[in-house]
Amino acid sequence: MDTSSTTGLPADPLVAGPSNEAAAEFSRVASAEQIRGVAGALEGNGITCIVLDSGEEAREAVRSILPVGAEVYNNTSRTLEVIGVAEDIERSGQYQPLRPRLYQMDREMQGREMRQLSASPEWVVGSVHALTEEGSLLIASASGSQLGPIASGAGHVILVVGAQKIVRDFDTGLRRIYDYCFPLEDRRARQAYGVSSGVNNVLVINKVIAPGRITAILVNEPLGF
Amino acid sequence: MSMIDYDARPVTPQVLLVGHRASSVGYSIRDFLSRNGVPYEWVDMDDAARVGALLPEGERWVDRLPVCVLPNGIRLAPATLEGVAAGLGMVSTPSLSEYDLTIVGAGPAGLAAAVYAASEGLHAVAIEAVAPGGQAGTTSMIENYLGFPQGISGSELATRATAQAKRFGAEILLARRLAGITRDGSDYVAHLSDGTAVQSRAMLVASGVDWRRLEVPDIDELLGSGVYYGAGPSEAVACNGCRVAIVGGGNSAGQAAVRFSRYAAHVTLLVRGSSLEASMSKYLISQVKELGNVEARTNTEVVGLESDTSLRALVISSGGVVARISADALFVCIGGVPRTQGADNVGLALDAAGYLRTGAELSSSTGALDGWPLPRQPLPLETNLPGLFAAGDVRSGSIKRCAAAIGEGSMVVSLVHQRLAELGGE
């Protein structure tokens, strides 16, 4: 199926995308009632939730939350790229972006420093693959490197989530990852890096014991995949 | 959210540099970007497909190399270090008309002074020609710096110190060198190479040292195209599979050998002295000896170079025996020459080797305090000009170690306070 119009990724006939059924099920934006319910569930789980109407508003919200001069790691994310948050973090000069710093480091000589830096940034900005109506967050990763900081390594976490990622429950969230996100991510990884992706690690956040550490910005439009 | 965080590469467009590897301007830009932690991609002119995609046909680019494509798509051709720095928004202007302290050089001493001065409420600005960190910033791993039991790379130490200085409010003016110093009453005015003038009530010269030049015929013609001064961190990956030679017997040379051994097929360490023990730390000697692809040759000097478009071989002399060794790159890490350019027009007292005299050393040096205007003697680290201090490697008698420079840089701030109190207004 050609999902380029909804995901922003170019079509690639050599790499199978998600099935028509999966694309129809998982690219649909949740209803206003569902969004309100999820926002309440997230707050109940200790996750600060902000509901906004557009990606531009989400970009402004991230700008207003991140302190000037903050050390920030932006996870690779279509959502962050599309709404301009990745650009703000890496190029604005307002923050200490860790990604360019890590990329510039000598992997042979500074491997330990790289692991330490990427494992415990002061701020992480990213997204999720699924968000359940009970307020659980599901994040998949091939390498796992993004998961530790979100779970506990980072001081603060901001997650920008398009409302098409809301699912009924955990099992549906897993199906969203395997049937919809993975085929699209696999295509992106092959195009961008020449390697395939994999659902090698899945982080589930049901509850946060340090309230306020994670902020979810829930956007009432489809963002990323 | 992506499932892959592929080697942490930035997701936004990077700087692209297109040119011939054997270009000294290209090297200076690579070195500048690398040492300032700016990711870039080098595209060699031999890569016709990439070059064709980046440079539109119809223009004679070959006369305008190197070309720099900035993240916003603007092409600089031919690119210069100053132009790239400006294009990336790295060239800032001073925010104040007068500072409490101007710091010349953002190496370990200068950064320490910036951190302590700014943290104590002084308005401080540092001037740096290339990148924060100085010579220490190019060191692959400092393993004996207090508090880092696993070691810390020079670039990481510099990055942290720079962030710390900025967090306290210090300003850092990059990509401009000091062109001269003038007086304005009791103030000092630093004139920078781009015409910027920075006025302050006190000044610290912490400009460090340059690598000593290797005296070999025609060596300057190969600068950036096979011959490099310092450890050349931007070149390490490019030396993958190459034969590398390093001249020097000190810790800088040893650290360079360890770094290049990870990439190069073979590394030859050329040492003029009879052993490494006289000039290199024991832990580094042990590391070097354990590396299977590193060979240390003592009592050896470089006497000639062979090249075509870039370096191909060295002619070396060992105890009068001349030999030829293949080498794709030569890194020169020998000694140091005080970097006092720009500060030498204001009448500073120098020792015989050109280092800045300070404190008690001035009193014991004939004529050094002629014209000293104050009833007190110069403070420790104060030069023969009141309120103008020196710290770190550029200072006569200093211990040439990163930790010692940091100590001097932090110590000088208390002396600056004394000077400012003397002037009144603090």
Q: What is the pLDDT of residue B7?
A: 63
Which chain A residues are closer than 8 Å to B263 by Cβ? 108
CB of A118 less than 8 A from some CB of B: yes
Q: What is the pLDDT of residue B102?
A: 98
pLDDT digits (tens, 9 = 90+) for B287-325: 999 999 999 999 999 999 999 888 999 999 998 899 999
**Angle in degrees, CA B294, B297, B300, rounded to 5:** 145
Give the residue-averaged pLDDT of A207-212.
92
Q: What number of C-beta contacts closer than 8 Å exist between A and B? A: 123
> Does B4 sit within 8 Å of A76, measured CB to CB?
yes
In what helix (H) or strand (E) does residue A83 lie, and over which residues does it extend? Answer: helix A78-83
Mutate which of A88, A103, A164 to disrupt the B interface (most B C-beta within 10 Å)?
Answer: A103
Cβ neighbours of residue A24 under 8 Å, at least 6 residues apart?
none
Residue of A nearest to B166 (CA): A69
Residue of B nearest to A79 (CA): B1
Q: What is the pLDDT of residue A14?
A: 57
CA distances from B211 to A224, B267, B387, B393 (A): 51, 20, 28, 12
d(CA B104, CA A19): 63
Split at pLDDT 50, 70, 90, the class of A9 is low
Q: What is the pLDDT of residue A15?
A: 62
Domain assignment of residue A1, yes or no? no
- Residue located via tokens 């890590």: A102
Q: Please check the confidence at residue B24 and state whether its pLDDT lies above 70.
A: yes
Q: Please check the confidence at residue A8 and state whether its pLDDT lies above 60.
A: no
Q: Where are the domains of chain B?
A: 11-87, 99-209+337-423, 219-332
Give the residue-averaged pLDDT of B113-133.
97
Q: When comparing pLDDT for B21 and B125, which is higher?
A: B125
d(CA B376, CA B208): 28
Where is average pLDDT lowest: A91-105, A206-220, B405-419? A91-105
Q: Which of A69, A91, A108 sits opposite B12 (nearest CB)?
A: A91
CA distance B65 to chain A (A): 24
> Does B71 sit within 8 Å of A76, measured CB to CB?
no
Q: When comparing pLDDT for A225 and B270, which is higher?
A: B270
ipTM, interface predicted TM-score of the complex: 0.74
Which chain A residues are closer than 8 Å to B34 by Cβ? 104
Cβ neighbours of residue B204 under 8 Å, at least 6 residues apart?
B101, B102, B103, B104, B109, B110, B113, B388, B389, B390, B391, B409, B412, B416
Class assignment of domain B11-87? alpha beta
pLDDT digits (tens, 9 = 90+) for A19-53: 999 999 999 999 999 999 999 999 999 999 999 99
pLDDT digits (tens, 9 = 90+) for B51-99: 888 888 767 787 889 999 998 889 999 999 999 999 999 999 999 999 9
221-260 of B, contacting A, C-beta below 8 A? 233, 236, 258-259
The two most distant CA atoms of chain A are separated, in Å, by 53
d(CA B190, CA B177): 10
DSSP letters of A178-225? IIIIHHHHHHHHHHHHSS-----EEEEE---SSTTSEEEEEESS----
Q: Please check the confidence at residue A148 and state whether its pLDDT lies above 90.
A: yes
Which chain A residues are closer than 8 Å to B156 by Cβ? 105, 110, 113
pLDDT digits (tens, 9 = 90+) for B348-396: 999 999 999 999 999 888 899 999 999 999 999 999 999 999 999 999 9
pLDDT digits (tens, 9 = 90+) for A160-199: 999 999 999 999 999 999 999 999 988 888 887 788 888 9
Q: What is the pLDDT of residue A1?
A: 40
Domain assignment of residue A5, yes or no? no
> Does A193 sit within 8 Å of B2, measured CB to CB?
no
The CATH number of the structural domain formed by B219-332 is 3.50.50.60
**Helix, strand, coil percentages, rounded to 5, for chain A:** 45, 20, 35
Total domains in chain A come to 1
Q: Which of B3, B11, B262 sits opposite A197 (nearest CB)?
A: B3
In b/e form, how buried is each residue of A173-200, taking b as 16+ CB within 10 angstroms? Answer: bbbbbbbbbbbbbbbbbeeeeeeebbbe
CB of B163 less than 8 A from some CB of A: yes
Give me the torsion for CA of B52, B58, B63, B69, rounded to 10°: -50
Q: Do domains B11-87 and B99-209+337-423 have the same CATH topology?
A: no
* Number of Cβ atoms within 10 Å of the Cβ of B353: 9
Q: In what order do the strands lie in the sheet with B75-76?
A: B40-44, B15-19, B67-69, B75-76
CB B225 within 8 A of CB B26: no
Q: What is the pLDDT of residue A6?
A: 47
CA distance A52 to chain B (A): 18
Residue A138: domain span: 14-219
Q: Please check the confidence at residue B426 and state whether its pLDDT lies above 80.
A: no
Instruction: Give percent of chain B above pLDDT 70.
Output: 98
CB of A104 less than 8 A from some CB of B: yes
Split at pLDDT 50, 70, 90, the class of B250 is very high
Residue A166 structure tokens: 């809301």
Q: Please check the confidence at residue A93 and state whether its pLDDT lies above 80.
A: yes
Q: What is the mean pLDDT of chain B?
A: 92
Q: Please check the confidence at residue B338 and state whether its pLDDT lies above 90.
A: yes
CB B254 within 8 A of CB B284: yes
Residue of A nearest to B90 (CA): A93
171-190 of A, contacting B, C-beta below 8 A? 181-182, 185, 188-189
296-315 of B, contacting A, C-beta below 8 A? none
Q: What is the pLDDT of residue B11?
A: 80
**Helix or strand or coil: residue B53?**
helix
> Does B3 sit within 8 Å of A199, measured CB to CB?
yes
Q: What is the pLDDT of residue B373?
A: 95
Domain assignment of residue A139, yes or no? yes
Give the residue-averaged pLDDT of A71-76.
94
> Does B156 sit within 8 Å of A185, measured CB to CB?
no
Which chain A residues are closer than 8 Å to B11 by Cβ? 74, 76-77, 80-81, 86, 90, 99
Q: Which of A90, A108, A127 sits opposite B1 (nearest CB)?
A: A127
Residue of A nearest to B262 (CA): A108
pLDDT digits (tens, 9 = 90+) for B170-208: 999 999 999 999 999 999 999 999 999 999 999 999 999
2-31 of A, contacting B, C-beta below 8 A? none
Where is average pLDDT lowest: A155-169, B20-34, B154-168? B20-34
Which chain B residues are closer than 8 Å to A138 by Cβ? none
Q: What is the pLDDT of residue A100?
A: 87
Q: Please check the confidence at residue B8 and state whether its pLDDT lies above 80.
A: no
The enclosing domain of A156 has a CATH number of: 3.40.50.10420
pTM of the model as a whole: 0.86
Q: What is the pLDDT of residue A2?
A: 43
Fold category of B99-209+337-423 in CATH: FAD/NAD(P)-binding domain (3.50.50)
**Helix or strand or coil: residue B384?**
coil
Q: What is the pLDDT of residue A188?
A: 83
Q: Which of A75, A79, A108 sits opposite B5 (nearest CB)?
A: A75
CA distance B55 to chain A (A): 22
Q: What is the pLDDT of residue A11?
A: 58
Q: Which amino acid is at A49?
A: C
Residue of A nearest to B34 (CA): A104
